[in-house]
A and B are shown apart, each in its own frame.
Chain A
Amino acid sequence: MNPSPRAGEKSEVLLTVNGETKKVLAYPMERLLDVLRNELELTGTKEGCGEGECGSCSVLLDGMLVNSCLVPVGQAKGASIVTIEGLSTYASMNPVREAFLECGGAQCGICTPGMILAAVHLLEKKREPTLADIREGLAGNLCRCTGYMQIFDAVAWAARRRVAQ
């Protein structure tokens, strides 16, 4: 059993972030989102709603898409985390990046890191997603500029590009 930190005590947390081992001193109930942004200065992960509704804070936690605002860092001990800054190690990232540029898949940009994380997670699971798969895969990510069509186009474009390659 892990030592049980009492309230008010920080403890050491080891994380693999974008392939690098990081050691942070944190309260176990600190949100993974805050540790990434404030301790590790990875500000590509955005805070939107802070209650798991908008997907702006999406990261991959051991390969799973999660909202980092809903993950206490104490539950991420020893986990591997990939943020928007580290996505280039994923094979589907290159076509997705190109596709968002090509299709105009970004407006103000706040939702974009989360959208791209969700898109890459989808393409890792489904090689040839249908429009319904894309809509479902991105349904937890809100764009308040409402540029959804270009974003869906971008994901479909990336999937086609990847299959063609």
Chain B
Amino acid sequence: MRADPAEYSLVSPGTLRAVLSLLAGEPARWLPIAGGTDVMVLYAAGKLPNRNLIDIWNIPDLRQIEVFPDRIRIGAACTYTALREQEIVSREFPLLATAAAWTGGIANQNRGTLGGNIANASPAADSLPPLLVYDAELTLISVRGERRLPYRDFHTGYKKTALAADELIRDISLPRRFAGYFSHARKVGARNAQAISKVCLAALGQITNGTIRDVRLALGSVAPVPLRLNETERVLTGKKIDSSLIETARKNAVSEIRPIDDIRSTARYRAAVAGNLVAEFLAKLATAGMDA
């Protein structure tokens, strides 16, 4: 059943301050809308419970990408197109640039935002595993003030987040300490283009003196939230990559994930693919480590 636009309101306060003050007045009343690539889909299908929308698309404070010596700060309403056009993102955070290019077609990249992808909290979002491995930190803001939260603590369950009803995600900070890492992103979907992932991997690794100094693995679509493979990383750190280590990592990865059967895939297939993606990454990391 189509939504009736007469039953909805949309206000455009125009500044961050004005948005926050409306949210503070009646937190449960409002749903923020940026580029609308998720919200409008629910709306059109008549499945949007909120009747009152608050426009955060054209808020200048939320659209900046700032570069500091130790980190970059991405405004929550920066689009995938903005991320792809930012040279420092492709140079130092290639996993995020790749995920931005995977997300929808050009029209949706022109409207979809990183903050929106985080707030929407889909475990299948391709941009979220990169945020886990890059140690992203979020700034959440309300009239009560700002608080910073590691991104890994933000998604608390399926489609659940730590965001309070009066808060917005203001920005996403990424520390600039991963430029020297080998990075690898892989998405497995029904097709190469325009498909939501069955499984996706974002991985970083660094090899010194033939052993793994640091490794960071995150998978999408294998658990209620985007998942960092902490146990597998622990098993790998300090080891030399050989075929038996790769098999151990594969088994560990499969035991850490909690995939389900759904419209896009099965738990069994996802487990096999997750293991394969981790194994494929390690084989590539070993080769890259030999070249280094």
Contact = CB atoms under 8 A, between A and B. Distances in A.
A70 B10 contact: no
A6 B9 CA distance: 6
Interface in A104-149: 118, 121-122, 135-141
A163 interface: no
Considering residues B14, B18, B43, which has the most beta carbons from chain A within 10 angstroms of its beta carbon? B43
A132 to B, nearest CB: 11
Interface stretch (B33-41, B121-129, B136-144, B153-161): B33-41
Contacts of B35: 70
A95 interface: no
A7 B3 CA distance: 13
A9 B5 CA distance: 10
Given A51-B45, A75-B36, A29 B194 contact: no
Contacts of B51: 7
Contacts of B41: 51-52, 70
A29 B46 CA distance: 12
A139 B5 contact: no
Contact of B43 (A29, A58, A122): A29
Helix, strand, loop or mixed for chain A's interface?
Answer: loop
Interface stretch (B101-109, B176-184, B223-231, B233-241): B101-109
A34 B198 CA distance: 34
Contacts of A6: 9
Contact of B194 (A4, A53, A69, A75): A53
Interface in B24-80: 33, 35-37, 40-41, 43-45, 51-53, 55, 57-58
Interface in A54-76: 55, 58, 64-67, 69-72, 74-75
A138 B194 CA distance: 11
A64 B110 contact: yes
B13 interface: yes
A93 to B, nearest CB: 18
Given A65-B107, A70-B41, A74-B12, A29 B57 contact: no
Given A66-B107, A75-B55, A140-B106, A1 B9 contact: no
B14 A27 contact: no
A7 B105 CA distance: 32
B33 A72 contact: yes
A71 B40 contact: yes
A28 B33 CA distance: 13
Contacts of B33: 72, 75
Given A70-B111, A75-B55, A75-B57, A52 B104 contact: yes
B104 A8 contact: no
Contacts of A26: 5
Contacts of A72: 10, 33, 36, 40, 53
A52 B12 contact: no
B6 interface: yes
Interface of A: 1-2, 4-9, 26-31, 50-53, 55, 58, 64-67, 69-72, 74-75, 77, 118, 121-122, 135-141
Interface of B: 3, 5-15, 18, 33, 35-37, 40-41, 43-45, 51-53, 55, 57-58, 81, 101, 104-108, 110-111, 193-194
When A and B form their complex, which 7 residue pairs have the shortest distance between CB atoms, in order from nearest? A140-B105, A28-B10, A27-B5, A29-B8, A4-B11, A70-B40, A74-B10
